[in-house]
Structure 1
């Protein structure tokens, strides 16, 4: 049975009211990861204004994602003990403060320090969101719920894309970051929506055997790291790659926003469809990673047409698996929901931590084409890790024929 803190005073809500809570959590997840994407999208302007190198800014961006990955074990414990609504509200407030502080930076030191703090705040989100989904969402709707929360990664690129297109040209990068910081305050006003009930939903299906479950989660975390390495590198430097392919900066910003909208739609649609047959989630995830790798390969060709097509494919499929992976992990360990969110988060943000600095250094050495092809190769390796994990998953299913793992 899922346990939640008895100190939360909210009465058990009706199940029909779980979607407002999930939406509020998704908005929180959007703003907490936004500092990394916003500063990445504004990178050319920031580098020129502060007179810092591409590698230095890449290292600063990597520190954001590294802080999320390193801070995740502590965040998991915090999310397991404190009320969900308090954890998510605190994360949103931290993100707002980080964006406003970054807007005042006059060198890499303050910028990097702000990103580290932002990464630690971002680490609180996935473990808390896992608890919220398990406590508020019926089992047959969890892929959709996780897809909505997972859409935050796409939405977090949508806002920077709009900032590049609408704010940066006329008002500069500092005003763009201030705008993002003010937007980040909004989810904190939705605190009441994210309270978990004192009485959880009915007991979940029996979990998989612990040893097989641990091995499966490790492989899925590795897959998330590999795929996120390639996808995050391209998302972070999307505007620069677009301009190098021959697109105007404003067009690249608009394309980033459009690609993000497509990614949101894909995540939600995938959640709806896979809720009908959740046992197929690993195969769907692997297919999405492969399709994302194809999109990255198209981007590497460096022409406007292939960049547009590759961007759409990389964002829609290449980033579309995040919610499904969280939902699948929740099914695998329904009695340790914060562990599921922690596993997915560590994988994604370990890869994301490597991506900005590694891509910047690699592109400086061998060029954008080879660097983007390396990202595509990482996506293919990620799909292989998902397949390997799914075989372990099948072994766990044979070891305990019950619940989610026992349905053929």
Structure 2
């Protein structure tokens, strides 16, 4: 039997693919102020656009998992990159209202689900057990890295060339990931491998926790710039605050994955603790002062949004025979949060203000911490080694 060796290639390819497929949603959030200068875009409309993007991703997640298991991660990752680049170009050329922006994002949302799940499959089948945590942490670090790029695009591109050129450049960046697309063979086993009723119940509870946590944490990437500008901060520094949060989250996800390989049996409990601290960071965003703002951003991004790689790591350890199909179920929870969070929190921000919105997001994140702890207990009962 040929032994699969783990090299930097698969991780780099997964990272490049993930950045390419998540850019559309995060770039809209980061450039919301500049987009709103071209056509009306209220917080509620912005929330609807982002929620539709993640809602379509949620609906596409399970079918995407089946496609990856059937055809392998190489062809599916490349298809996802092309779809994402087409979506970015379409927004740059055709978006002229909140409605068209929403429809164009929805058209490319399947790339998000397909590309991320293809990456999960590639890492699960290439990374040895002693490095899977680091691999998934690095892969998920691509999400806040996209937020970092979106924040950096405000002062470097959107305020100089215009926001449409930022989307054109993002499309070219996405296409550059094509030669790096990861590969993993199609599954030769049925994707519905059983893990026991207790484990299934635990995964459902974890998915609910992911919905609440993702809904809260997505508010950072979607509304942070606009909320900061509403408090009197210039758009440039506001974008840099988003950039700082993205950088902190990149480091936290990679470090968390590294530590997960050394303590693999309690990762869901670790996530629960992270979410409690992250909720405190969201609550701090209701207060004034630059130092408090920076502290809230660091805690909210660094701990409240650092958990998806750890969750995928735990799920893959439970379902090594069909990682794409298994993580597609939990990714549905993440995407459902991405859908419901901006929609509900955007409504709250529009009608009650950003202070109330941040408090609502912090409360939801505390609920996610409780659900994650319950899911961890259920999974430990069904699989003592998890």
Question: TM-score normalised by the shorter chain: which range applies?
Answer: over 0.9
Q: Find the counterpart in structure 2 of residue 195 from structure 1.
A: 183
Partner SS for 2:109: helix
Question: Is the Cα contact below 8 Å between 1:71 and 1:123 reproduced in 2?
Answer: yes
Hey, what does 1:132 align to over in structure 2?
A: 122
1:203 maps to which residue? Answer: none
Question: CA, structure 1 residues 336+195, in 2 after alignment: closer, same or farther (shift >3 Å)?
Answer: closer
Q: Which residue of 2 aligns with 1:93?
A: 82
Does structure 1 retain, via aligned residues, the 8 Å contact 2:120–2:324? Answer: yes
Equivalence for 1:84: 73
Q: Which residue of 2 aligns with 1:8?
A: none
Distance 1:208 1:80, change over 3 A: closer
C-alpha offsets along residues 56-90 of structure 1, whole Å, 9 cap, x if unaligned? 23212211110100111211111111121111111
Give the superposition deviation at 1:126: 3.1
Say whether 1:335 aligns with 2:321.
Answer: yes
Q: Which residue of 2 aligns with 1:256?
A: 242
SS in 1 for 2:38: helix
Correspondence 1:5-404 to 2 at 5 A: 14-17=4-7, 19-104=8-93, 105-191=95-181, 194-196=182-184, 209-397=195-383, 404=385
1 CA distance for matches of 2:308 and 2:203? Answer: 14
Question: How large is the Cα RMSD of the aligned pairs?
Answer: 2.1
Counterpart in the other structure of 1:3: none
CA deviations 1:340-368 (Å, max 9, x no partner) are: 32123111110011122222210111111
Any stretches of 5+ residues in structure 2 without a counterpart? none
**CA displacement at 1:234 relative to structure 2:** 2.0
| Structure 2 CA distance for aligned equivalents of residues 51 and 299 of structure 1 | 26
Question: Aligned to 2:96, what secondary structure does the other structure show?
Answer: coil
Q: Which runs of 4+ in 1 moved over 4 A?
A: 11-14, 197-200
Contact 1:220 1:389 in 2 (8 A): yes
> Aligned equivalents of 2:4 and 2:247: distance in 1?
30
- CA distance in 1 between partners of 2:186 and 2:338 (Å): 35
User: Does structure 2 retain, via aligned residues, the 8 Å contact 1:75–1:127?
Assistant: yes
Query: 2:3 & 2:111 partners in 1: Cα distance?
Result: 28
Flag the 1:63–1:166 CA change in 2: closer, same or farther, 3 A: same
Q: Aligned in 2, Cα 1:384/1:110: closer, same or farther, shift over 3 Å?
A: same
* Alpha-carbon separation, structure 2, partners of 1:163 and 1:371: 25
2: distance between equivalents of 1:83 and 1:198?
A: 4
Distance 1:334 1:43, change over 3 A: same
Where 1:99 maps in the other structure, the secondary structure is helix
Aligned residues: 382
Scaled by the length of structure 2, the TM-score of the pair is 0.94
Indicate the larger mover: 248-257 or 386-395. Answer: 248-257
| Cα separation, 2, equivalents of 1:374 and 1:97 | 35
